[in-house]
Amino acid sequence: MKKSYLIAFESSCDDTAVAIIDADGRVLADVVHSQIAPHALYGGVVPEIASRHHLGRIAELTKQALQDAQISREDIGVVAATVAPGLIGALLVGAQFAKGFAQGLGVPFVGVHHIEGHVMAGANEADFPKGSFVALIASGGHSALYQVSVPFSIKLLGETRDDAAGEAFDKIARMLGLGYPGGKVIDELADKGDAARFPLPTALKMHTSYDFSFSGLKTAAKLLIAKLMKDGANIEGQLLYDVCASVRFAVVEALLRKAFLACRRLQIDNLVLGGGVAANSLLRSRAMQLGKDENIHVFLPAKNRCTDNAVMIALAAQRRVALGQFDALDVMVQSTREL
Ligand code: KG4
Ligand code: ZN
């Protein structure tokens, strides 16, 4: 069928991703190139290096996606790309490439908000909520709670007042010499550890706010690591596992406490998790358990749809297409923008 496919591009940070979906939201192509190596040397993402790598990869990834989907360019009916928020140079590469693609094909363009993408990452799954839900989005750049209502509106309920949850994981991982990005490594090591060994603080416990704060945890972890080292310990083996387990437990508690508080208070019985930190194994298992205890349906996207990908951008764009919400080709990319 001609012109019934949607192609989407994601390049807001250090992943270059291209996806193609059909009119029913079925994924025909999902390619992601993660630039871990060029940034690992610096312990974090270097914006200019990210832009250059996006530029070097995007054309070949697009070819790959078309090949995987077994369609030709002429079968594409809509082009979408992340336009905000993110690293400005990185966003520009994906968005300008996408706009050129749309103009060349003479088809409409949709500019997508990256967080809306994370919210919609599982929208093509059978058990994705059909009605209203609370969304907990925790990634390297954002940690926030949203109330999503149907027909579609997204309202911010609360967000981090300092570091994002993934950023806290990454910074603590760096203190422990675990490399970048560190969330996944801490998660794996924590599986072998005892989370009760080093009780770490979870900030903003009060029931009056949906906000998070992770800078106190970061400082507590820093002081703990310094004390252990002063006492002559090498932070490795079981000690390392226990530190990782304690850190993971504190982050997960902080996130889920507010997410379930929002569900209870707003009487919404659907919770959707998203963003890279939603790949965390304790966050996933605790969320499922609490959901069972509190009779709240918890939707978890597949782990590879939690971290940055273009399928989530395609699905968010598809919802806009259904409402006829297209963007002009002069739509600007923005490093920050409210949802
Ligand atoms: O959503 P994402 O891919 O990019 C942003 O939009 O930021 O999230 C990346 C973040 C990083 O901070 C990374 O350490 C964290 O997600 N992350 C994890 C896990 N996998 C990725 N954090 C905890 N546990 C994981 N398994
Ligand atoms: Zn993201």
- The pLDDT, as a whole number, for residue 1 is 53
- 330 pLDDT exceeds 70? yes
**Mean predicted lDDT score pLDDT of the chain:** 96
Q: How far apart are CA 195 and CA 201, in angstroms?
A: 12
- Identify which ligand lies nearest to the alpha carbon of 139: 1
Instruction: Please give the distance, rounded to the nearest whole angstrom, from the Cα atom of residue 228 to the centre of ligand 2.
Output: 34
Pocket of ligand 1 (CB under 6 A): 13, 139-141, 166, 169-170, 181-184, 187, 275-277, 279-280, 307-308
List beta partners, residue 272: 135, 299
Say if CB 90 and CB 12 are below 8 A apart: yes
Retrieve residue 294's tokens: 């509190």
Region of 311 please: left (phi>0), alpha (psi -120 to 50) or beta.
alpha
- 151 pLDDT exceeds 90? no
Least confident of 92-106, 159-173, 198-212: 198-212
Q: Which residue has the tokens 């490093």?
A: 335
- The pLDDT, as a whole number, for residue 17 is 98
- The pLDDT, as a whole number, for residue 172 is 97
Q: State pLDDT tens for residues 24-35.
A: 999 999 999 999
Q: How far apart are CA 144 and CA 306, in angstroms?
A: 14
- Identify which ligand lies nearest to the alpha carbon of 282: 1
Q: How far apart are CA 52 and CA 14, in angstroms?
A: 10
- 223 pLDDT exceeds 90? yes
- Which three-class secondary structure string do you get for 91-147? HHHHHHHHHHHHHHHCCCEEEEEHHHHHHCCCCCCCCCCCCCEEEEEECCCCEEEEE
- The pLDDT, as a whole number, for residue 216 is 96
- What is the pTM assigned to this prediction? 0.96
- Radius of gyration (Cα) for the chain, nearest Å? 20
Q: How far apart are CA 223 and CA 217, in angstroms?
A: 10
- The pLDDT, as a whole number, for residue 132 is 97
Percent of the chain's residues with pLDDT above 70:
99
Instruction: Please give the distance, rounded to the nearest whole angstrom, from the Cα atom of residue 308 to the centre of ligand 1.
Output: 8
* Nearest atom within ligand 1 for CA of residue 139: 8
Helix or strand or coil: residue 171? helix
Q: State pLDDT tens for residues 187-215.
A: 999 999 999 999 999 888 877 899 999 99
Instruction: Please give the distance, rounded to the nearest whole angstrom, from the Cα atom of residue 57 to the centre of ligand 2.
Output: 19
